[in-house]
Amino acid sequence: MVWKFLLGISAVLVVGLGLTACPPPTPVGVIYVPNAPPPIRSEVVVASPGPGYIWVPGYWNWGGTDYVWVDGAWHHPPHDGATWRAPRWRHASQGWYMEHGGWR
């Protein structure tokens, strides 16, 4: 009886350890790009159009066949306390993919 219990516990531990070694699931709708994005461009930040505006820096987007630069611009946050999270390019075994940014 004890050996069955120990065998059951061992099986649970083996399965649990195996699951922790699995890579995270691939997000749905993600486009993978084979090459890394170019370095971020330096931008000239022009004067704010008015109080309450926040500068949202430019970033590289994927245009279907190549990277396309999206210029930075001044934006008014959608609500008080909103912060901007810039888009980020991440590398995975399938290639490069973008984590989209937005207001939080």
Sign of the CA dihedral with 30 first, then 34, 38, and 39 last: positive
Pairwise CA distance, residues 100 & 78, whole Å: 17
Name which of 71, 74, 36, 80 is nearest 55 in CA terms. 74
Domain boundaries, the chain: 27-103
Residue showing tokens 């709708």: 29
Yes or no: say if 102 and 54 are a contact pair by the CB < 8 Å rule.
no
Pairwise CA distance, residues 4 & 11, whole Å: 10
Reported as a single tens digit per residue, the pLDDT across 42-95 is 999 999 999 999 999 999 999 999 999 999 999 999 999 999 999 999 999 999
Residue type at 61 in one-letter notation: N
Q: Which two tokens stand for residue 12?
A: 């649970």
Reported as a single tens digit per residue, the pLDDT across 9-53 is 544 444 444 545 555 555 667 899 999 999 999 999 999 999 999
